Amino acid sequence: MTPLRPDVWQPTAAHLERSGVALLVRHLGLADYDALMRFALEQPAAYWTGVAEYCQFVWDEAPGAYVDLSAGAALPRWFPGARLNWVNSVLAWGERADGATRLAVVEEHEDGRVERLTYPALRERVAACAQVLVGHGAAPGERVGLLMENGLHATVALLAISAIGAVAVPLFSGFGPEAVVARLSAAGARLLIASRGFQRRGKPVALEPVVRAAWTDLPLLERVLWTSPTNDASAPPRESDLVAEMNAVAPASFTPRVGTANDPFLLIYTSGTTGKPKGIVHTQGGFPLKIAHDALVHFDLAPGDVFCWPADMGWIAGSLVLAAALLRGATLVCYSGGPDYPDFSRLSRLIERHGITHFGSAPTLIRGMASHAAEASQGDVSSVKLLITAGEGIDPEHFSWFQQHFGRGTAPLINYTGGTEASGALLASVVVRPIVPSGFNSASPGVPVAILGADGRALVDTVGELAVRGAFLGMTQSFWQDDARYLDTYWQTLPGIWVHGDLALQRADGQFFMRGRSDDTLKVAGKRLGPAEVEEAVLKLPEISEAAAIGVPDAERGERLVVFVIAAHAAADAAAVAARVTTQVESQLGRPFRPAAVHCVTQLPKTRSSKTMRRVIRNLYCGNPPGDLSALDNPAALDEIRRAAAGAAS
């Protein structure tokens, strides 16, 4: 990849006057975005009332208040007195102007097949699925597992589970039986909706064997509802063909069950640093309104737009993308195949075929496309109005590459970070402020974000903990049946303050930059820095396509820096690349941070959502057990890390 000058994107007159956030400013009767930021923190009840009005969020009974903090900031109760089901806010778009013909969901399969649902058709399918679930005894509050690729079936199933007041438990489609057992048993799920499998990079991804292997260790699981039929005429009686049962349901009026704003609808597990996965709990009045807000304020998403951000349903991005598109009356485009199949032009051609206006990608995929730039750019991306990247840190060079090649240099690229526990953004960018490559130009309105030192004091131009000074809409209700662990994880480091577990830096000009996870922090010769700073420096080299920095114990220095890199060209000389990386880090960050070792590998351990598993790298390199591998997408990468460790020890 040829390095590009990291230009700052500037908002146009149209962004300043007609973007979603600009229209919200006027709706609230405020002067500008700075006034909106102050208003959201100083008068949160009025702010969120205005957001709900503008987004046409459907309350069956309006809330009597914004929040009840009688149990403390860590355990808020949102919108006391409100009655709602968030699915009504999705289905209502089918009854508004142009709603009868507007596409709600489009699914492109890897083999090229395309399926579509309009908003009225989506209502019919959700109603049918909900009736099937009720027929199998699903009740409000009951947990229902969801194991399938992203697409029409997953969209309908998640909405139907929510519509009956049950709780969806999405599972990563790459999980093995043990990971499925751990999550469904912890959730106490009695029903599971599952796909038998799908295609990725031309090969079958078989989910049915995973379900059958897990089922033997799930005594509470009574029934599996498959999204495709079986050729086995003697299918066990505890299994059903969901689609066939939906098609057999007699047409009937269906109204989603109305409950409180604090009723759970989503239980999604995320790996902890140690021990069992954390069960994140999102509620009917929290996650949906926060995501509708972010889709408006940060993604500038409007009714009739076309939104695509390929994401597995097992991670929070799957639910986030679904809710963002459908709560704003946009069209959701789903694709679960390989992003590089049959080659790296797949996604730009996907944009061209469906007229996608808003497109999101993980940084790892951006780096992959940049290393195959000629292929990746073959599709016509002129329909794109806005780009999004999230999931991990991104260096300025690849940020600029994506903005130039997929946004034509004119569409803004929104950096977005929050995490499973936060629903949506803690930090993000907005299109009414300049956007610096790899930076965030705003805290998300209504979230009292601060970058804090160990003593709780705010920091500027210094790396610190990303924290939130109090309760914020969208935060997890707790951990599933584990308040003590939840409180210990987020609220005990600095009492009364949510400490997110990420390192960040806020510059004097207000721009934010992520610097990695707190537990990935490097401390070399008493000096602290995040892995993202090292990786950012390394990725400025055109001969490097990916990098991961870790700290390993050192008797004299506390820790020493070790860097793993993937060369842009397979034939590159490893010794020369290592020397170049060493020099680059030293020149960019200073001699104290000169790497003790640089290892060239062909792949880094990644999750299916493309996050680099630095903790796994560090554990293997130090000769320790790797830890939780349930989310690992490429097991072969572990052998490369082990070989590097063995070579370093010899």
Predicted pLDDT at 274: 42
What is the C-alpha to C-alpha distance for residues 80 and 103, in angstroms, rounded to an integer?
34
Over residues 540-551, the pLDDT tens digits come to 999 999 999 998
Which residue ranges make up each domain of the chain?
121-260, 521-649
Over residues 115-166, the pLDDT tens digits come to 999 999 999 999 999 999 999 999 999 999 999 999 999 999 999 999 999 9
Confidence of residue 13 (pLDDT cuts 50, 70, 90): very high
Answer yes or no: same fold for 121-260 and 521-649.
no
Instruction: Identify the H or E element spanning 448.
Output: none
Q: One-letter amino acid identity for 211?
A: V
What is the C-alpha to C-alpha distance for residues 600 and 360, in angstroms, rounded to an integer?
29
Over residues 501-540, the pLDDT tens digits come to 888 999 999 999 998 777 777 767 666 677 887 898 899 9
- From 196, 147, 189, select the one nearest 171 (Cα to Cα): 147
Estimate the share of the chain in helix, then strand, then coil, as percent rounded to the nearest 5: 35, 25, 45
What is the C-alpha to C-alpha distance for residues 200 and 108, in angstroms, rounded to an integer?
12
Taking only Cα atoms into account, the Rg of the chain, rounded to an integer number of angstroms, comes to 24
What is the C-alpha to C-alpha distance for residues 604 and 550, in angstroms, rounded to an integer?
12
Instruction: Output 627 or 326, whichever has higher pLDDT.
Output: 326
pTM for the whole structure = 0.86
What is the C-alpha to C-alpha distance for residues 426 and 512, in angstroms, rounded to an integer?
11
- Residue 63 makes CB contacts below 8 A (sequence gap 6+) with 79, 80, 81, 82, 261, 285
The token duo for 542 is: 């055109």
CATH number for region 521-649: 3.30.300.30
Predicted pLDDT at 234: 63
What is the C-alpha to C-alpha distance for residues 561 and 559, in angstroms, rounded to an integer?
7
User: Across the strands, what pairs with 568?
Assistant: none
Query: Within 10 Å of residue 53's Cβ, how many Cβ atoms?
Result: 12
What is the C-alpha to C-alpha distance for residues 485 and 270, in angstroms, rounded to an integer?
14
Instruction: Tell whether the model's pLDDT for residue 5 goes beyond 50.
Output: no
What is the C-alpha to C-alpha distance for residues 386 and 525, in angstroms, rounded to an integer?
43
Q: Can you list the positions of beta strands (E) in 148-277?
A: 167-171, 191-194, 197-200, 203-206, 223-226, 239-241, 259-260, 264-270
The token duo for 358 is: 């808003």
- Residue 13 makes CB contacts below 8 A (sequence gap 6+) with none
What is the phi-psi region of residue 297: left when phi exceeds 0, alpha when psi lies from -120 to 50, beta otherwise?
alpha
Predicted pLDDT at 520: 75
Predicted pLDDT at 273: 43
What is the C-alpha to C-alpha distance for residues 110 and 6, in angstroms, rounded to an integer?
34
What is the domain class of 121-260 according to CATH? alpha beta
Averaged pLDDT of the chain: 93
Over residues 180-194, the pLDDT tens digits come to 998 999 999 999 999
Over residues 249-290, the pLDDT tens digits come to 987 788 999 999 999 999 999 865 445 788 999 999 999 999
What is the C-alpha to C-alpha distance for residues 626 and 621, in angstroms, rounded to an integer?
9
What is the C-alpha to C-alpha distance for residues 493 and 393, in angstroms, rounded to an integer?
24
What is the C-alpha to C-alpha distance for residues 443 and 450, in angstroms, rounded to an integer?
9
- 208-215 helix and 177-187 helix, angle to the nearest 10 degrees: 60
Answer whether 392's CB lies under 8 Å from 399's CB: no
